[in-house]
Amino acid sequence: MEGWSNERAAEVFPMVLDGFWVVLQVTAVAATIAVLVGLAVAITEQVSSPWVRRPLSGVMQFIRNTPLLVQLLLVWAATSYYINPDWSAFIVGSAVLGVHYSSYTSESFRAGIEAIPQGQWEASTALSLPAHRTWFAVILPQMMRRSTAAVANWLIAMFKEVPALFAIGVLEMISQVDKYLGQTYSGAVEGYTIAGLLFLAASYPVAVAMRRLENRLAKSNF
């Protein structure tokens, strides 16, 4: 294997950086989906009848227990064949990644809801608070305090899963490195090292910020 070359590193860096911006965009879209869908699922499982709760739980279990790569390929093939072959790999990949991780965030949100003392629910009932007021003023603020750390960990894990989207043609960092290798037959050490450092540079500060947020929420009174 060839050793490190500053010249090759300088050549591959712009391509890896282009892929890095794609990773950030995918992460932003997928994280939004993961949080919103996960929260909707957690609340629905709390307030719905068994006829809704059980099928929904089964769907989430299926998503959580099947590989992300299989889901990507299956949805990409289905959308290309049955819906629209021109659909962007970015859209499909971001959606699949977000829904896949919503199956994990929903569990974190559910655990946060179930950790709220029963007395909080009883007090809301005694005060005749409407359901939306109970959720938005009493339950959700406390749930977020309990769930923030777990959800943040899932989103960081999701960020590191973005390279799986190479399978459907999304030109993220690893795909860009592979593209460079196909053109020059060299640069693997430089390309993968730069990609790894960019992943670290993006994920570590977020992890530290989330830990500080967790500590701050733990000390709050709401």
In a domain, 170, yes or no: yes
What six digits make up the tokens of 18? 């282009």
How far is 59 from 201, CA to CA, in rounded Å?
35
In a domain, 206, yes or no: yes
pLDDT at residue number 175: 85
In a domain, 162, yes or no: yes
Eight-state DSSP code of residue 73 = H
Question: pLDDT digits over 152-161, tens only?
Answer: 889 999 998 9
Question: pLDDT digits over 107-129, tens only?
Answer: 999 999 988 888 878 777 787 77
For residue 133, the domain's CATH number is 1.10.3720.10
Per-residue exposure over 171-195, b if at least 16 CB sit within 10 Å of its own CB, e if not: bbbbbbbeebeeeeebbbbbbbebb
In a domain, 183, yes or no: yes
Which domain, by its residues, includes 163? 6-219
How far is 186 from 178, CA to CA, in rounded Å?
10
In a domain, 1, yes or no: no
State the total domains in the chain.
1
What six digits make up the tokens of 31? 């994280």
In a domain, 165, yes or no: yes
How far is 203 from 200, CA to CA, in rounded Å?
5
In a domain, 24, yes or no: yes
Question: pLDDT digits over 43-95, tens only?
Answer: 999 888 889 889 999 999 999 999 999 999 999 999 887 777 677 889 999 99
